[in-house]
Amino acid sequence: MRCFWILLLWLFFQGGMVAAPPEFSPVAPGRVLQFPQDFGAHPEFRIEWWYVTGWLETEEGHPLGFQVTFFRTATYADTDNPSRFSPRQLIVAHVALSDPATGQLVHDQKIRREGFDLVYARTGDTDIRLDDWVFVREAGGSYRAQIDAHNLRLQLTLAPTQPLMLQGDQGYSRRGPETGQASYYYSAPHLSVIGTIHRNGKTANVTGTAWLDHEWSHELIGPGAVGWDWVGANLDDGSAWVVFQIRDRTGGVFWAYAALRDASGQMTIYAPEEVHFYPERFWRSARTQATYPVATRIRTGEIEWQLVPLMDDQELDARASIGEVYWEGAVTIVREGKPVGRGYLEMTGYLQPISR
């Protein structure tokens, strides 16, 4: 359940009178994901994202959390417009680095219209470019992320160590009670990361483990939902664990999902009613006055998980650019009092409901 709120806004956007609105494909069960085609973009669907999160370690052993995200969204731009500038597809990218040494998040973002070979999300295989920000799946199957942000430069190679993890029903992932409230969704957990991070004039060599989500869909969130909490974690024993809940206006759960795949590839999927989030400690942002449950206990079926944040302040205040505030950060996964793995937690809709 990964999202970029700006896209949400876009989803509901219908600018004035459009003579020839584009037509989009719905998400339906039964589609068999085909690779490498499905590594690539699906411009016939309205929204799509590649979302990499992970933990890194510098040569000195300092832990860092990172997030590199590319979104694509198709717009309602008039298909009659012959201009190459017509904003049919928008590409958005986001990078963030959590460093407990500073206690703060370093982040940057970009949004551009697709076109002129400067900005694109290609079909056929993962190949995304946003000016000089690149995310591409190379011949050997490794991903290369290259981000040249104003305050941060990342150059990472992410090599798969496990097969893909198709979420839901072979990649058909429901996110609401209605049919159609779903997406195509696969993950690549346990990516082995090597690369360099350049910031403040210093370059650091890093290694680590990451998680990639690739998801595409027509609709994102059902009416009545206000936000969500999502966790994806690489566990030390080689398991991969993903869980999310979508909250409704009443504070109840609109939809929930969890899956645990062990090192042998055995997949356990939990029904919505088997997933429970219990907030344990709240952190209040002095910047935005939003309060987040930064430490949470989660139960999936019989298992109890504890989330311990790398640092409390992993809030992104992006009101000035995209109008939203959210928390996205590195967490340690604890089970029965012992750390069992590391992952990323995303919490949205805590300052105000994700706007329509």
Partner 1 sequence: MSAALLSRWLLLGEWRAHRWQCLVAILAIMLGVALGFSVHLINTAAVSEFSAATKSLSGVSDLTVQATQATFDESLYPQLMQTDGVAAASPVLEIMAGVPAKADGRDDPALKILGLDVFRAATITPDLLGIPAEDQPFDTLSEDAIFLSPAAMEWLAVRPGDALQLSLGTKTVSLRVAGGLARAHAGQRLAVMDVGAAQWHFDHVGLLSRIELKLRPGVQHAAFKEALARELGAAYLLMEGRDQDARIRNMSRAYRVNLNILAMVALLTGAFLIFSGQVLSIIRRRAQFALLRVLGMTRRQILQQILLEGGLLGVLGSLLGLLLGYAMAAGALRFYGADLGAGFFTSLAPSLPLNPLAALLFFAMGVGVTILGSLAPAWEAAHTHPGPALKSGSEFVALRALRMPWLAGLCLLLAGVLTQLPPVFELPVFGYLAVVLLLVGGIAALPYLASLSFSTLLRGVDAQGRGVLRTLILARLSNASSLAAIALGGVLASFSLMVAMAIMVASFRVSVDNWLAHVLPADIYVRTMIHQDLRGLTPAEQQMIAALGGIERIDFMRSKSLLLDSARPAVTLIARPIDTRDPANTLPMTSDALPPAQMAATAIPIWVSEAMVDLYAFETGKKVTLPLTDPPQTFLVAGIWRDYGRQFGAIQMQLSDYRALTGDQHVSDAALWLASGMTAEQLITALDDLPFGTSLALSQSNQIRQRSLELFDRSFAITYLLELIAIGVGLLGVAASFSAQTLTRIKEFGMLRHIGLSRRQIRRMLGWEGGLLAGFGITLGFVLGVAISLILIFIVNPQSFHWTMQLYMPWTWLSLMALAMLGAAAMTAFAAGRRAVAGNVTQAVKEDW
Q: Please give the residue ranges that form the binding site for partner 1 (CB under 8 A).
A: 9-10, 13, 15-18, 75, 77-78, 81-87, 110-113, 116-118, 131, 323
Residue 160 C-beta: closest distance to partner 1, Å: 31
Find the largest Cα–Cα distance for the chain: 61
How many CB atoms lie under 10 A from the CB of residue 218? 20
Query: How far from the centroid of its chain's Cα atoms is residue 237's Cα?
Result: 23
Closer CB to partner 1, 153 or 297, in the complex: 153
Residue 227 C-beta: closest distance to partner 1, Å: 19
Residue 85 C-beta: closest distance to partner 1, Å: 3
Closer CB to partner 1, 9 or 269, in the complex: 9
Give the whole-angstrom CA distance, residue 18 versus residue 227.
Answer: 30
Q: Contact at 8 Å (CB) between 234 and 211?
A: yes
Residue 93 C-beta: closest distance to partner 1, Å: 12
Closer CB to partner 1, 200 or 266, in the complex: 200
SS (H, E, C) 57-84: EECCCCEEEEEEEEEEEECCCCCCCCCC
Sign of dihedral through CA atoms 168, 31, 35, 330?
negative
How many CB atoms lie under 10 A from the CB of residue 231? 25
Closer CB to partner 1, 150 or 338, in the complex: 150
Closer CB to partner 1, 113 or 299, in the complex: 113
Give the whole-angstrom CA distance, residue 76 versus residue 328.
Answer: 29
Residue 80 C-beta: closest distance to partner 1, Å: 8
Residue 6 C-beta: closest distance to partner 1, Å: 8
Closer CB to partner 1, 120 or 228, in the complex: 120
